[in-house]
Amino acid sequence: MGKGAWISLFALVFIVLFFIPNLICFFIRPQERYRSGNVLIWLLNLVGGAAALFTGVFWLDSRIRGFYSVEEFLCFWLGSIGLILVNWVVWILYLVMSRPSRGGVPGEEKSAGIGRRRKILQIVLAVLPVCLFSLHGIAQRYPALMICSAIFAVGHLLTAWEKIRKA
């Protein structure tokens, strides 16, 4: 990135690719949307997520961005691609496992093992976006993104924990 660059197109592409399964699930399974009953947790999740998305793509300071070594660059790229692939695989597993069984009541589990596995996948799905934003903040040495991803982590993980506990 050159001096005066204020947008990261690579980060934008990574974030869009990462969140495609989330958007698909958001529209095909509206019953699974969850909002925390605790206003503070809900605000941390909402504001932290929006701020992490914004600061992940837009740079708010005038420092020249870039990687100090090839290893940092590879960590950023391979880490992002790896997180995207893991996110997609886990979403596919989660959606397949949460399909209503034939002849059964939708949402009813045939065994406790399936329910336990779905909860584990929900935890993984909650942790992955936090990892992506944290990786981008640390790899790019961007304090605003690190702070926003920490706020998002608290809100998002508490919301996920609350959702899983109630299920």
Q: Please report, in tens digits, the pLDDT of each residue of the chain (167 residues total).
A: 445 457 778 888 999 999 999 888 888 876 666 777 788 888 888 899 999 989 888 876 656 566 778 888 898 899 999 999 999 999 999 888 877 655 444 554 455 556 788 888 989 999 999 999 999 888 888 888 999 999 999 999 998 888 888 86
Q: What is the pLDDT of residue 114?
A: 62
How far is it, in rounded angstroms, from Cα 109 to Cα 49? Answer: 31
Q: Which pLDDT does position 39 carry in this prediction?
A: 86
C-alpha 145/C-alpha 155 separation (Å) is: 15
Q: Give the model's pLDDT for residue 76.
A: 87
The answer for residues whose C-beta is within 8 angstroms of residue 93's C-beta and 6 or more apart is 121
What CA–CA distance (Å, rounded) separates 109 from 76?
A: 39
Length of the chain: 167
pTM (two decimals): 0.80
In the chain, count H helices and then E strands. 5, 0
Report the candidate in 144, 146, 141, 157 with the shortest Cα–Cα distance to residue 1.
141
pLDDT at 104: 46
